[in-house]
Amino acid sequence: MATRQGRRTGPRKPKRNVPNGVAYIQSTFNNTIVTIADTAGDVISWASAGSSGFKGAKKGTPFAAQTAAEGAARRAIEQGMRQIEVMVTGPGAGRETAVRALQAAGLEITLIRDTTPIPHNGCRPPKRRRV
């Protein structure tokens, strides 16, 4: 049987002290992805509703977005993050819940900006659902 030789053990990413950064919340109808980066754009932590253990239609719920934001914030606070700017994108249900979860986790929010792209009459939208 082959042994694991020459492999380094321990944490893969070194812990760095990053006091402030940017949180990107991408909220679609099916999922919510929270990415926390430093001011240079290097990703510190990320989490999604799917990576937080939700499957199927439950990924699009506000509670799943809250859980994802808490997980990403916890890992960012371990790296020393205290202040964040929040960029929110998309029409999903978890937008406000994710922002509140970041604040409740202990991060100080200095700015909230909606960066959802708005078409100037671009693509045709999906047809209306008949349920």
Q: By three-state DSSP, how is residue 101 classified?
A: helix
Q: What is the DSSP pairing of strand 20-27 with strand 83-89?
A: parallel
* Entry pTM: 0.84
Its sign, for the CA torsion 10, 16, 20, 26, is negative
pLDDT along the chain (131 residues), means of 10: 65 75 95 94 93 93 95 92 94 92 94 94 92 87
| Burial class of residue 113, CB neighbours in 10 A (0-12, 13-18, 19+) | exposed
Range of the domain at 56: 20-114
pLDDT at 15: 75
* Structural domain includes residue 130: no
Specify the number of domains making up the chain. Answer: 1
CATH of the domain at 83: 3.30.420.80
